[in-house]
Amino acid sequence: MTILAFILAGTLAAATPLLLAALGELIAERAGVLNLGLEGMMALGAAVGFVVAYTTHSHVLGFAAASVAGIALSLVFATLALGFMANQVAAGLAIGVLGLGLSSLIGKPLESQTLDAPGKLAIPVLADLPVIGPLFEQDVVVYLTFGLAVVIWAVLNHSKLGLIIRAVGENPHAARAIGFRVLRIRLAAVAFGGAMAGMAGAYASTIYTPLWADGMIAGRGWIAVALVVFGTWAAGRIVFGALLFGALSLGGLIAQAAGVALPSQLLASLPYAVTIVMLAVISSNRRRMRLNTVASLGQPFAG
């Protein structure tokens, strides 16, 4: 396997957990809620997903349980941020810490245990193409995630549901005046974000690296939050950012294996830094930022 084939084959899978979490966060933020608890929700989803998949030998049940756990934690956040109109930044940080703690607690008995990863699914014809063939030999969740990105783009831009979500995020007062139940819509958006974060965690712990290690989410929840903001709340740019991060983290592994004379910690941190810098450059277009920024993001709404 060439280096290029290795990167092509691995990038999509490396991008998948980020993309799952970021797409959920995109919906929550488009509705006007900043959920900074994403890292904790992913960590909780990872632990619950691993424990359930380990005990039931079913990845499907693992994903289902992880999404339920993500929803449950996001509802705690929603209670604070929407119900009691708490500061969304503080509430999100607190919930994030809670999620990380719960994750360690739940995963503790299974430390260093492993799972069987599900098999890969090669798409006929496409997987046999020269050079880009490895892109089309992935596990099923990867295909579903990238399909979901298209669905979410279409919903946000071309459906009434998307219009409602964007309207609530841009101007909750006007949305209420014309008769939308702002808090209910925001609650649903936050819960969706929680479910997606939970599944993102489950993907990381049961498929991408099917081994339980405490702290395995390793900041990917934060990168997902950054992807949404620096991707200027547009699904396409978020996908780009996730792929960039995925490719860079594989590049780091290759560089390490090839014995590049850089400390491994530095190599491991590069994808985070480069992704943020790249996205910051993309989002420095003020016009695009202004047109896409969610006007009411992070502001409590009394409804």
Partner 1 sequence: MAPLLQLSGVSKRYGGVQANAGIDLSVDAGSIHAILGENGAGKSTLMKLIYGVERPDEGQVLWQGQAVTLSSPSDARRLGIGMVFQHFSLFETLSVVQNMALIVPGSKGELATRIRDLGAAFGLSVDPQAMVHALSVGERQRVEIIRCLLLNPALLILDEPTSVLPPQSVALLFDTLRALRAKGMAILFISHKLEEIRELCDTATILRQGRVMARLDPRQGTAHDLATLMIGRPMPPPVHPTPHGLGEERLALSNLNFANDDPFGVSLKDVSLAVRGGEILGIAGISGNGQQELAALISGEIALTSNAKAVTFMGQPVGDLGAAARRHRGLAFVPEDRLGRGAVPDMSLADNALLTAHGRGLVKNGFINRKLERAFTADCIARFDVRTSGPQAEAGSLSGGNLQKFIMGREMMLDPKVLLVAQPTWGVDIGAAADIRQRLVAMRNAGAAIVVISEEIDELFEICDRLQVLHKGHLSPSVDVAATSVEQIGTYMIGAAA
Q: What residue ranges bind partner 1 (CB under 8 A)?
A: 160, 163-164, 166-167, 170-171, 173-181, 286-287, 290-292
> What's the min distance (Å) between Cβ of 234 and partner 1?
12
Phi, psi at 212, each rounded to 5°: -90, 120
**Nearer Cβ to partner 1 (113/171):** 171
**Nearer Cβ to partner 1 (38/167):** 167
**Nearer Cβ to partner 1 (12/156):** 156
CA 193 – CA 250 distance, rounded (Å): 27
Place of tokens 């909750």: 172
Give the list of residues 6+ apart from residue 72 with CB closer than 8 angstroms, or none.
194
**Nearer Cβ to partner 1 (15/189):** 189
> What's the min distance (Å) between Cβ of 280 and partner 1?
18
> What's the min distance (Å) between Cβ of 150 and partner 1?
20
**Nearer Cβ to partner 1 (129/163):** 163
114: its two tokens: 């492993």
> What's the min distance (Å) between Cβ of 171 and partner 1?
6
Element holding 122 (H helix, E strand): strand 121-122
Q: For the chain, how many helices (H) and strands (E)?
A: 12, 2
Amino acid of residue 51: V
**Side-chain-facing half-sphere of 265: CA atoms under 13 Å:** 0
> What's the min distance (Å) between Cβ of 79 and partner 1?
23
